[in-house]
Structure 1
Amino acid sequence: MTFIKSTAKVLAKIILGVIAFVVLYFLVEAILSRIPGYTTKRRDQEQPKDIAIYVMSNGVHTDIVLPVKNEIIDWSAVFPFENTRARNPNQHYIGIGWGDKGFYLNTPEWKDLKLSTALVAVLGMGETALHITYYYRVLENDRCYKVMIDENQYNIIKNYILESLDQDLSGNPVYIETAAQYGQHDAFYEAKGAYHLFFSCNTWTNKMLKKANLPAGIWTVFDKGILRHYRDLR
């Protein structure tokens, strides 16, 4: 009887500890995601902001959407059109996001989510990937916000993405051959870094935006932690 009581007390403490952690986790995220992680004062304000990019969410996951090609970089040379099902070069924008490889390849919809996949991702035990999607046009809405940036900001974003890519011995991006593509214009590539409870796909995007001194929170793991800063600009 004593053993049962002791076990019950231990389980109760564990449950209370888990609940307290979850509450604290969401509370800290709610606070830090609302505090601007960028400065509104820029030394290079005289640079023309003539490059249009987009911050886009599918309701859970955020991507940065960039021109396929300009004088700074041709993304189709990094992520060939031939690696998409459509193989269609008549595209003007490319969406780029980072995340857990298992989530990307094994969970096309939330109904496909397995407990094992979620645990591997949350605990940072899995590999990561970059997901790219080509677009002919991009429409602004409550989940997609247009931002005008300068050349310096674009270079910061470009370098951040390239530094997130895993490479083969020749220095080329490693294409992931899979049937798990979401549509006709997307593809996956091996990435660096670990996805875990404190660094999600949205944390990756948020960090990139902060580096480029664009609207972002101090820290967030959810898309809303990013999008609210762009809604406030409207």
Structure 2
Amino acid sequence: MMTVKKIAKVILRLVLGFVAFILLYLLSAFLFSIWTVKREAGTSNDIAIYILTNGDHTDIVVPAKNAITDWSKEISYQNTAGRDTTGQYLAIGWGDKGFYLNTPTWADLKFSTAFKAAFALSTSAIHATYYQSMPESSDCKKIMISNDQYKRLVAFVDSSFKRDAAGKVINIKTNANYGKTDAFYEAKRKYNLFYTCNTWANNALKASGQTACVWTPFDRGIFYHYR
């Protein structure tokens, strides 16, 4: 049988290992966040998109409708509580389904939700919100991209949706909506410490040839390059 002293040593090693992992994770996040993936050169400025943060989570904001894509055909206004068809912009974010549906504020966060999200033990969702306007601020940055880059962005976002047998996006029926202009949809992949909501948004920027981080789990990493 293990003595108390041996048990204490095992616990100490586990604690030190955990602390070392956290420190390495944060250091990696910092270094890879400030390491820039440069924007593609020589492209036209055809379409305005935006990056929008609530202080923790980054959304990619696109025109609700233009000549390339009419998002409302799949991300229907009718799936929102208000069913308002006048929204001009669509903010799209990917994340852990448990966070989205069960954690309206940080005060509501449960250990089980955080644990499952950190270790890819739950499913993911896409949160889509319509807006009438998109004023620029420190939390909302405009990015001008070309038509070709926008097509690549559309393809990246489209590939993130889980679809039914008929190829349609799957609306999540819930009362956990944040307001009258948003809705949730089933998504591919699983959230984890190394692929977060902000990693997804950063990858969306990279897919469309925009300035981004090499890797970041945090919104601050993305916005660092757009200050």
Alignment partner for residue 136 of structure 1, among 129, 132, 135? Answer: 132
Amino acid of the structure 2 residue aligned with 1:58:
N
Q: TM-score, normalised by structure 2?
A: 0.98
Alignment partner for residue 72 of structure 2, among 73, 76, 79? Answer: 76
In structure 1, the residue matched to 2:28 is 28
1:7 aligns to 2:10 (yes or no): no
Pairing 1:213-224 to 2, within 5 Å after superposition: 213-224=209-220
Deviations 1:81-129 (A, max 9, x none): 0000110001100000000000000001101000000000001010000
The alpha-carbon deviation at position 2 of structure 1 amounts to: 6.7
The alpha-carbon deviation at position 77 of structure 1 amounts to: 0.4
Alignment partner for residue 212 of structure 1, among 208, 213, 216? Answer: 208
Pairing 1:173-188 to 2, within 5 Å after superposition: 173-188=169-184
1:89 aligns to 2:114 (yes or no): no
The alpha-carbon deviation at position 41 of structure 1 amounts to: 4.8
Amino acid of the structure 2 residue aligned with 1:20:
A
Q: Is the 2:40–2:209 Cα contact (8 Å) retained in structure 1?
A: no
CA distance in 1, matches of 2:130, 2:96: 20
Alignment partner for residue 56 of structure 1, among 49, 52, 55? Answer: 52
SS of equivalent to 1:230: coil
Alignment partner for residue 202 of structure 1, among 181, 198, 201? Answer: 198
Runs of 4+ in 1 over 2 A off after TM superposition: 39-42
Pairing 1:89-128 to 2, within 5 Å after superposition: 89-128=85-124
Q: Which moved more, 1:47-56 or 1:175-184?
A: 47-56
Q: TM-score, normalised by structure 1?
A: 0.95
CA distance in 2, matches of 1:5, 1:48: 67
CA RMSD of aligned residues (A): 1.1
Q: Is the 2:162–2:170 Cα contact (8 Å) retained in structure 1?
A: yes
Distance 1:40 1:99, change over 3 A: closer
SS of equivalent to 1:154: helix
CA distance in 2, matches of 1:92, 1:20: 46
Amino acid of the structure 1 residue aligned with 2:31:
I
CA distance in 2, matches of 1:106, 1:224: 24
Give the percent of matched residue pairs that are identical in Structure 1 and Structure 2.
46
Amino acid of the structure 2 residue aligned with 1:159:
A
In structure 2, the residue matched to 1:191 is 187
